[in-house]
Amino acid sequence: MPAASRPNLRPDVELLVINFLNAQPDFIEMAEIVQFSNDIPYFQDMAQNAAYGRVTRGAGLTSRFMSGPVIDIDVFAFSYDLSVKVSLICENLMLYMLFGEKYPEGAVYKVTEIAGPHWIAGENQDLTRYGATYEVRAR
């Protein structure tokens, strides 16, 4: 079989984390709107009572069957307290709930926190941005 036609057997960890976080009761039951994606809406389209999580994949270990990228989770909100709250919930979910789970996108066998939730300066002074970095290995 030529290399170009081989299927990609590695899990899409970015999609796995996005789907995992969007399905969590912790966020679904909150009074505020919490949405995760690999992008955030334009500033003008953001709701005042919402938090938007941007999940992005960085470099990391990869083989034919395993993916171990660094994942950044940045939470944007108009409220400092909401941004911090969502970031801390993400931290707990990533470290204590994601490990060992099996999803259509892959099975997670290791989650390591590289940098815990912290404030990140941004160009827009109306938005608070809190971010954290994790290494997620899945096969």
How many angstroms separate the CA atoms of 24 and 139, rounded?
A: 22
Residue percentage of the chain with pLDDT more than 70:
91
As beta bridge partners, residue 57 has 71
pLDDT for 1: 44
| pLDDT tens string 38-93 | 998 887 788 888 999 999 998 877 766 677 889 999 999 999 999 999 999 999 99
Q: What mean pLDDT do residues 1-6 have? A: 53
C-alpha closest to that of 17 among 52, 67, 50, 55: 55
pLDDT for 17: 93
Q: What mean pLDDT do residues 91-119 have? A: 89
- Computed over every residue of the chain, the mean pLDDT equals 87
SS3 string of 71-130? EEEEEEECCHHHHHHHHHHHHHHHHHCCCCCEECCEEEEEEEEEEEEEECCCCCCCCEEE
Phi/psi class of residue 39: alpha, beta or left (left: φ > 0; alpha: ψ in -120 to 50)?
A: beta
Q: Residue 6: pLDDT band by 50, 70, 90 thresholds?
A: low
Q: What mean pLDDT do residues 84-112 have? A: 89
C-alpha closest to that of 74 among 91, 93, 54: 54
Q: Residue 7: pLDDT band by 50, 70, 90 thresholds?
A: low
The full set of domain ranges for the chain reads 3-138
| CATH architecture type of domain 3-138 | 2-Layer Sandwich (3.30)
How many angstroms separate the CA atoms of 56 and 29, rounded?
A: 24
pLDDT for 69: 87
How many angstroms separate the CA atoms of 12 and 38, rounded?
A: 12
